[in-house]
A and B are shown apart, each in its own frame.
Chain A
């Protein structure tokens, strides 16, 4: 019987090639998208899951409250790990790790001088780090490898990169031309799904050589974003128990306002990658958005299938009638139709699988992921495909199957069945409306994201971001800085330059307490400190609203503040702050000028109070305003000048607008994905509409013929087909518009400086949907309209 089901199913599908083709194409597109989305989402949620103790691993994080703000920081004070280990017995292992980017590495033992700078930097780590995480060693003893000072662990890739085919064990790594480390172990390359990205681990004991004050047990007030502490809790210890112990811990190590402001808590390992409040790489709401889109796409394809199947059910009436006469039961007919659906879905599923494999590399590039789709390692994806397969078969096949099985044999045999007997027309209206609604939702979503991205990129951030190149300043040596400045100034394409901690908008910010004008207490909010020389304002086009610029200095002698700072102090005019003393970073100096507010981060953040002050020791960057017409030559000359000043270091440069674009990396990825998936949803809907209109045209052949004989024009005939769809389109709009408003408001909530979409946007969405409907419906209805009525009547 089953063989018979599949045999007839196969032949039926071959007979109705257009129907089969449209369904396979639609399902293939949606299943491909579903596989890719599922792979992406599971990949993102799989971070750190390879650790066999993953359920007991936590990171201690810091919540700092100031004024009305609560800031979530992934880091902890450097001494915290040691104190936690000494004070509590909650954890089986506690590990401190401090990582630094932009670290120069050289190989003193090698004949050829080689220098490297790893994007992910290096980490000073306690040996217990490798007892918490499953990062196995391929060479060396995990118990002793990092135990001694001046020892280093490197990954296999780094070993190969630095030392080629020679054994890296025992070799020397020199860090920042200063501290030597001996390679005592080779780590297996880290899996792609971990956020622990450093490939070089150095003995934690040597942190004191790198930064003595930070490494001291008393450096509780310092919070550096690269300083973290991981714990492996003892079995049976709940994180809540540990969290309860933290307030007492805070009171022991902090006093006064600091004790009130700082709080610690445990963050589960599985939360780290997807918690954007701390340093999570991805906001889960993006993943849920994609999942929703995936469900939409599958639903759209299923709706198409149901639409087409019920529309063409009449063609099957004779066969169904005969089968019933010959003794077939309803359930047998139902399963026969399910078999047809299964074949279509299976074909679509197989094509989709290969399509997904082909499309995975570009998706990996887009999302900077390392996802794979091979049959052996992706059991979960295969299980997902199987579930999708079953869901699609039953979601798409059940209703048409029931319709067919319900046919009355007497009517079916005599071809007296009509659409009324099928009863699918109201359902089809609902389905087409749903498809329109989904398309409109995606179109409106796409427009809003694109608009906001354009707005973010084009909004005046309060400073000049065009044609500004930033190069690193690897050492705080003022002489070298002066040399570099002098050399850069001689380059014709260089218009201005400044040495600073970071450009005006940056991911890296430093904050500190501030005391204003001899007030007895520090303010209840922190300020962002931009260390920069006196050229900062000119190089970035920042405007003064009161006072004057800084005078040249290598140390903090005066401050510039921004307008928000003045407002936070409760002063009515920027002039009121001029000449007043403020204390920041332990230095008391006067405010000499107020700069117009500018954005220090992405538009997702509000402008915060800040100060600008000169302090050569903290400069990490040199930003150079260049003439864009001589860019290539200018960049080469900048590199020459830089290499002349810092011959021992590795040169790199970034454009400021690229760095700003990175703030919206995930939003841009989401935009690209939404564009692609919205396109797919629209295409599937178009195919479905085209199929429906084709069936309608076939059914209405006689009606069209009679109408034409009676004098109807082409436009009137086209409207005969179109009016139905446009009515549904409007109903869909009524459903989609509020849903789109809700969803986009939710997304835009993250942007402190957001667009305000008005009704015009939704009208654009509606017009776009109309255009799609015209394209899908137009051709087939026009064809029906211009057909010779004599032929259509004769064929009836």
Chain B
């Protein structure tokens, strides 16, 4: 599903040049659950941003579903992203001014899904995430675990092929964290590919494979199953 080859990304300021990704190469097959680990500054987040089509690589190849996407323009990236990729963030990133229902509905609006269908799909996913009773609440009225469940609901509502999770349990206690990991595992079992950046060895054990990064390169791979 994803094949990156010699991926490079360098950040430049006036005086400093930081190599975030240094000829990174790996592949993720459809249906895999892959964890990316490594110390701070090793390039995990940069990788996730490029995989999520939020950022451009400077060099190398990024093939998504058989299409070279490394040099897509913003419009094409946005289109591919909204149809195929869901995001789960450490800090949930829900919009404070929108209710739970409206937050989850947002990707469907950008996809141009009609109102009645949107309602049905949002309710289904909220039900599945067991957060339906909070549908009219605002994010700040929810616990951290509930907020992350809403974020997951939002990530999956448009049935993406790929979910990118950036430290999804980082702001949660262990019980809520486990709950979220179980949700991701369930989604993976239903066929969604998941790439998760994490510092947590515990969380990484939910995945099939761990890619360990250092200085912008993949140094080891651990296959867990």
- Mark A residues whose CB is within 8 Å of B: 1, 4, 7-8, 11-12, 15, 318-319, 321-330, 332, 409-410, 413
Can you sample 27 A-B contacts with CB below 8 Å?
A: A1-B109, A4-B109, A8-B97, A12-B97, A318-B95, A319-B95, A319-B97, A321-B93, A322-B94, A323-B110, A324-B78, A325-B52, A325-B81, A325-B93, A326-B87, A326-B106, A327-B79, A327-B81, A327-B83, A327-B110, A327-B111, A329-B74, A329-B75, A330-B74, A332-B110, A410-B49, A410-B54
Whether the pair B95, A322 counts as a contact (CB closer than 8 A) is: yes
Residue with the highest number of chain B CB atoms closer than 10 Å, among A8, A324, A325: A325
B214 within 8 A of A: no
**Contact pick for A326, options B74, B96, B97, B110, CB 8 Å:** B110
For the complex, count residues of B whose C-beta is within 8 A of A: 26
Whether the pair B82, A327 counts as a contact (CB closer than 8 A) is: yes
Nearest 10 A/B pairs, CB to CB: A327-B82, A327-B110, A11-B97, A326-B107, A322-B93, A410-B49, A409-B54, A410-B54, A319-B95, A325-B87
Docked CA distance A4–B54 (Å): 24
Docked CA distance A332–B89 (Å): 23
Whether the pair A323, B87 counts as a contact (CB closer than 8 A) is: no
Whether the pair B97, A327 counts as a contact (CB closer than 8 A) is: no
- Which of chain B's residues have a CB closer than 8 A to the CB of A323? 95, 106, 110
Docked CA distance A60–B35 (Å): 94
Docked CA distance A49–B15 (Å): 70
- Which of chain B's residues have a CB closer than 8 A to the CB of A332? 110
- Which of chain B's residues have a CB closer than 8 A to the CB of A326? 82, 87, 106-107, 110, 154
B4 CB to nearest A CB, Å: 18
B6 within 8 A of A: no
Docked CA distance A486–B54 (Å): 101
B98 within 8 A of A: yes
Closest to B89 in A: A413
B37 CB to nearest A CB, Å: 20
Whether the pair B55, A8 counts as a contact (CB closer than 8 A) is: no
Docked CA distance A413–B107 (Å): 17
Docked CA distance A167–B76 (Å): 82
- Which of chain B's residues have a CB closer than 8 A to the CB of A327? 78-79, 81-83, 107, 110-111
Closest to A11 in B: B97
B170 CB to nearest A CB, Å: 13
Closest to A10 in B: B97
- Which of chain B's residues have a CB closer than 8 A to the CB of A324? 54, 78
Q: Do A15 and B82 form a contact, CB below 8 Å, given A4-B109, A323-B106, A409-B54?
A: no
Extra contacts, 10 of them, besides A8-B95, A319-B95, A324-B78 (Cβ < 8 A), are A4-B109, A7-B102, A15-B97, A319-B96, A322-B93, A322-B94, A324-B54, A326-B110, A328-B78, A409-B54
- Which of chain A's residues have a CB closer than 8 A to the CB of B98? 8, 11
**Contact pick for B54, options A12, A318, A325, CB 8 Å:** A325
B9 CB to nearest A CB, Å: 11
- Which of chain A's residues have a CB closer than 8 A to the CB of B87? 325-326
Q: Mark B29-54, 1 if CB is under 8 A from A, else 0.
A: 00000000000000000000100101
- Which of chain B's residues have a CB closer than 8 A to the CB of A322? 93-95
Docked CA distance A11–B119 (Å): 21
Docked CA distance A409–B54 (Å): 7
A297 CB to nearest B CB, Å: 32
Docked CA distance A215–B52 (Å): 95
B223 CB to nearest A CB, Å: 30
A330 CB to nearest B CB, Å: 7
Docked CA distance A410–B47 (Å): 12
Closest to B105 in A: A4
Residue with the highest number of chain B CB atoms closer than 10 Å, among A1, A322, A323, A410: A322
- Which of chain B's residues have a CB closer than 8 A to the CB of A325? 52, 54, 81, 87, 93
Closest to B80 in A: A327
Docked CA distance A326–B106 (Å): 7
- Which of chain B's residues have a CB closer than 8 A to the CB of A319? 95-97
Closest to A409 in B: B54
Closest to A415 in B: B91
- Which of chain B's residues have a CB closer than 8 A to the CB of A12? 97
Closest to B107 in A: A326
A312 CB to nearest B CB, Å: 14
- Which of chain A's residues have a CB closer than 8 A to the CB of B106? 4, 323, 326
Docked CA distance A693–B109 (Å): 37
- Which of chain A's residues have a CB closer than 8 A to the CB of B54? 324-325, 409-410
A12 CB to nearest B CB, Å: 6
Docked CA distance A326–B54 (Å): 10
- Which of chain A's residues have a CB closer than 8 A to the CB of B89? 413
Docked CA distance A451–B4 (Å): 77
Docked CA distance A325–B75 (Å): 12
Residue with the highest number of chain B CB atoms closer than 10 Å, among A8, A318, A327: A327
Docked CA distance A766–B107 (Å): 54
Docked CA distance A326–B96 (Å): 15
Closest to B49 in A: A410
Q: Which of B53-72 contact A (CB under 8 A)?
A: 54-55
Closest to B111 in A: A327
Q: Do A329 and B78 form a contact, CB below 8 Å, given A1-B109, A409-B54, A413-B89?
A: yes
- Which of chain B's residues have a CB closer than 8 A to the CB of A413? 89, 93
Docked CA distance A11–B87 (Å): 25
